Amino acid sequence: MLLLLVIVKQGKPFIYKITTSNRRLIKQVKRRKASSDHFTDPLPCEIDNHGDTTCFGKNFRVISFTSEVCSVSPYLSEYDSVTDIPICIAATAVDLDSGETIILEFGQGLWFGDRLNHSLINPNQCRAYGIQVCDDPTDPNRDIGVELPRNYFLPFTMRGTTCYFKSRSPDVEELESCRTFQVSDANHWDPTDEIFISTVERGHNPVCVCLKCVCLNCLKCVHLITILTDYREARCRS
């Protein structure tokens, strides 16, 4: 089951506090082709620490659907339930300040499409794949944003207490020609399996440990990062 809180702002639905528990397989999936029409204006991708799964809105484009679906139940009783929310791989285009357009490809997300005017990015889903995400604006040692391979960095913007970046639905040519970064696992994401343990000892910085990989999000000691980098990359990509 998937629980959500729906809040209507200026006549538009916003979805918050996503949690998932059970996913189910279905024997047949209607493979929907990507529409030739796509929304080209940039929209926010909000970093959502309340959610345990990324939610794709109209600034994403489906790459492929899996055979898994979720049932969606409203957090508030006055909203009706929604069944069979598909789980898919989807991509979004980011126009960097340098003028380059890059593609971010996310796996195992919930497809809402045109029903959602922004997308919700679960940072731990990216961290479990080995992608470093900093959404702490008070961290004196790191800028808020996503560290991508090949020394690419995607900065976040703050709106109140919310971190976000803007992106748009890519066209077919951009999907084929632009540099693409895979930022979450395409084949597996079970929030109940990915357990992050935070240990705080006096005189030491917090260290986050994932059962499947080492997450360096909270590490601020350069020496420790150097020691653990090879191990983390080996476990995350295995």
**pLDDT per 10-residue tile (average), the chain, 238 residues:** 45 51 50 54 93 91 91 61 86 97 96 92 93 96 97 97 97 96 92 56 39 39 35 39
Say whether both 210 and 144 belong to one domain: no
- Indicate whether 121 and 71 sit together in one domain: yes
pTM across the whole model: 0.71
For residues 238 and 110, give the distance between their C-alpha atoms in angstroms, rounded to a whole number: 25
Contact (CB, 8 A) for 5 and 77:
no
Pair (183, 204) in one structural domain: no
Sheet hosting strand 214-215, strand order edge to edge: 196-199, 207-210, 214-215
Q: Is the dihedral of CA 32, 35, 36, 38 positive or negative?
A: negative
Tracing tokens 């976000």 back to the chain, one arrives at 164
Confidence at residue 190, expressed as pLDDT on a 0 to 100 scale: 82
Look at residue 31 and tell me if it is in a domain.
Answer: no
User: 3-class SS at 33?
Assistant: coil
**Which domain range does residue 126 map to?**
2-26+39-189
